[in-house]
Amino acid sequence: MAAELDISQRTYSKLEREETELDWGRLQHIAQILKIEPVDLISFEDGLVFTNCNQSGKINHIHNFPQELKEQYENRIKNLNEEVTFCGSYC
């Protein structure tokens, strides 16, 4: 995300930890990257929380994760798994 916003990882970490105030322009840019509405970043609904684990095993909660985007990721993972299976058999 830091690279997409053209800021350093350190600066982005400060945004995540709320050590730096997020301005409206940056909020809109983040929403654009995530393909969601800016208001979805500042509101909270229990039904819009997607949980995943990173490589270290730490649990991350991603709020306001649209169902459509989740389905796109799941389809992409399915397609990649099919490619791996195909290459394993024929490559």
- In this predicted structure, what is the pLDDT of residue 89? 67
Asked if 52 and 84 sit in the same domain, the reply is yes
Asked if 39 and 56 sit in the same domain, the reply is no
Alpha-carbon span 81 to 13, nearest angstrom: 32
Asked if 34 and 51 sit in the same domain, the reply is no
Asked if 75 and 89 sit in the same domain, the reply is yes
- In this predicted structure, what is the pLDDT of residue 72? 82
Asked if 16 and 36 sit in the same domain, the reply is yes
Residue 7 belongs to what domain range? 1-43
The percent of the chain in helix, strand and coil, each rounded to the nearest 5, is: 60, 10, 30
Rounded to two decimals, what is the model's pTM?
0.46
Asked if 27 and 51 sit in the same domain, the reply is no
- Mean pLDDT across 21-26: 86
Instruction: Calculate Rg over the CA atoms of the chain.
Output: 16
pLDDT, one tens digit per residue, over 24-52 is 888 889 889 888 888 777 765 555 555 44
- In this predicted structure, what is the pLDDT of residue 8? 92
- Mean pLDDT across 4-27: 88
Tokens 């994760």 belong to residue: 65
